[in-house]
């Protein structure tokens, strides 16, 4: 599977009223009048798999920040900006034996076994699943 390019959230893994994990439709989250803007942020996520070997988790730039503030933060290396999105997280990714993996950065042991930081990205019917997101092509 070719993952290079831009992806957007179609579903977000969340908790329901009984604290069960459920997939919630991103559009429904964005249109829910009972949610505040902070609760809607994950539904606005974009993910880019770059030719440079990095996957970038991107969120919209916060409202109310001036272009001068953005430029200063970029110049100081505090943030990376692509269009109207800021890179919230950046991870290496690779393809190996026809499977796609990202480096979670997690290391150590579990029950005496070494844990690999490389997590497989799961292919779904119409996209991919990674982190707590189901993603489709943007």
pLDDT tens figures, 26-44: 999 999 999 998 899 999 9
In a domain, 77, yes or no: yes
The range of the structural domain enclosing residue 16 comes to: 5-90+123-137
Closest CA to 87 of 104, 100, 74: 74
Whole-prediction pTM: 0.86
Average pLDDT, integer, range 94-99: 95
Give the per-residue SS3 of the chain: CCCCEEEEEEEEEEECCCCCEEEEEHHHHHHCCCCCHHHHHHHHCEEEECCCCEEEEEEECCCCCCHHHHHHHHHCCCCCEECCEEEEEEEEEEEECCEEEEECCCCEEECCEEECCEEECEECCCCEEECCEEEEEC
Domain count, the chain: 1
Mean pLDDT of all residues belonging to the chain: 93
In a domain, 113, yes or no: no
In a domain, 101, yes or no: no
In a domain, 118, yes or no: no
In a domain, 117, yes or no: no
In a domain, 95, yes or no: no
In a domain, 103, yes or no: no
In a domain, 65, yes or no: yes
What values do phi and psi take at 108, rounded to 5? 130, -155
């Amino acid at each position: 599977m070719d993952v290079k390019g831009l992806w957007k959230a179609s579903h977000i893994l969340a908790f329901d009223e009984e604290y069960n994990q459920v997939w919630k439709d991103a559009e429904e989250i964005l249109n829910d009048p009972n949610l505040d803007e902070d609760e809607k942020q994950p539904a606005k996520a974009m993910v880019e798999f770059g030719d440079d070997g990095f996957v970038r988790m991107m969120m919209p730039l916060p409202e109310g920040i001036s272009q001068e503030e953005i430029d200063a933060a970029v110049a100081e290396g505090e943030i990376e900006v692509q269009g109207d999105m800021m890179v919230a997280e950046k991870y290496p990714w690779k393809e190996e034996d026809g499977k796609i993996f990202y480096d979670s950065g997690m290391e150590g042991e579990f029950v005496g076994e070494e844990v690999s930081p490389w997590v497989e990205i799961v292919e779904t019917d119409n996209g991919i699943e990674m982190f707590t997101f189901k993603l489709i092509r943007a």
